[in-house]
Amino acid sequence: MIILFIGDVFGTPGRDALFHGLYSLKKRENVDICIANGENAASNGRGLSGRDARDIMESGVDVITMGNHVWSCREFEEFADRLPIVRPANIGRGSSGKKYIVTEVCGKKVGITNIEGRTFIDIVGDDLFACADDMVAAMKAEGAEVTVVDFHAEATSEKKLLAMYLDGKVSAVIGTHTHVQTADETVLPGGTAFITDAGMTGISRESIIGMAYKGVYEKYALGRKASFEPVKKGTLEIRGVVIDVDDVTGLARSVKRVAEVVTLPE
């Protein structure tokens, strides 16, 4: 089975990149299921609206994962239960939204869950290790043979720690949140694919992780009150990873980075 995991879809440019570039990428890589982190997909780069979710799915994404901006769009709880969207399982007790999804792909059941980190992040969730154990057990109880964890976290060490903790128990642990694609993709000794961060989908090269230079500079260099504005023009890219999972063992055979430049039609 071939899984395409797409890093944080940022704003309108990120959705445009998917709309114009995802089909050809999926076809070239023979993708069976596509998962994308959508917690920054709103036009302002924070949260996910119902329209954003529909745009992402109509582009060819099968399951959307979230992160610390999960509650940034107030309407999220109105549609979260109806769509194939997974919110972080260890935050928001009693809130709407699925903690995991099990779906059938190519005759195999695939489970996807989402965990929030606890280090250097604005929403501190419950014990991520206990939560991961619970989610893996729940997915496998529903027959999941392939399992993917989106670990939405800031600290690189925390991401590697959870990946090693889950090595051999899941097919992949994919880091999201920092928007910078790392070069450490690997299959761990137990057969779990891992990368510290899948990267950002949208305009990365001409932005500060999606935002315009001016506002970020004024806040951090000058100490002024400033608003962050998403960059709207620049190089569109789809960033993420392609994971080849063994159909028999449910463990990863390989993982490789994707950095696809997308050209808009004139």
Q: Is the pLDDT of residue 6 over 90?
A: yes
d(CA 239, CA 209): 13
Closest-CA residue to 240 (of 32, 41, 9): 9
Mean pLDDT, rounded, for 5-14: 98
Instruction: Place 63 in a pLDDT band, splitting at 50, 70 and 90.
Output: very high
| Residue 231 contacts residue 206 (beta carbons within 8 Å) | yes
Instruction: Place 134 in a pLDDT band, splitting at 50, 70 and 90.
Output: very high
Q: Is the pLDDT of residue 11 over 80?
A: yes
Instruction: Place 213 in a pLDDT band, splitting at 50, 70 and 90.
Output: very high
Question: Considering the chain, what is the average pLDDT of its residues?
Answer: 96
Mean pLDDT, rounded, for 166-177: 98
Mean pLDDT, rounded, for 146-173: 98
Instruction: Place 225 in a pLDDT band, splitting at 50, 70 and 90.
Output: confident
Instruction: Place 264 in a pLDDT band, splitting at 50, 70 and 90.
Output: confident
Looking at domain 2-260, what is its CATH homologous superfamily? Answer: Metallo-dependent phosphatases (3.60.21.10)
Q: Is the pLDDT of residue 211 over 80?
A: yes
DSSP β-bridge partners for residue 113? 100, 149
Mean pLDDT, rounded, for 148-168: 98
The enclosing H or E element of 2 equals: strand 2-6
For 208, the token pair is 């500060």
The 8 Å CB, 24+ separation contacts for 171-174 are 171/3, 171/146, 171/147, 171/243, 171/245, 171/250, 171/251, 171/252, 172/3, 172/5, 172/147, 172/148, 172/243, 172/245, 172/252, 172/255, 173/149, 174/5, 174/148, 174/149, 174/150, 174/198, 174/241
Catalytic residues: 69
Q: Is the pLDDT of residue 266 over 80?
A: no
- In percent, how much of the chain has pLDDT > 70? 100
Q: Is the pLDDT of residue 9 over 90?
A: yes
Instruction: Place 22 in a pLDDT band, splitting at 50, 70 and 90.
Output: very high
- pLDDT in the model for residue 96: 84
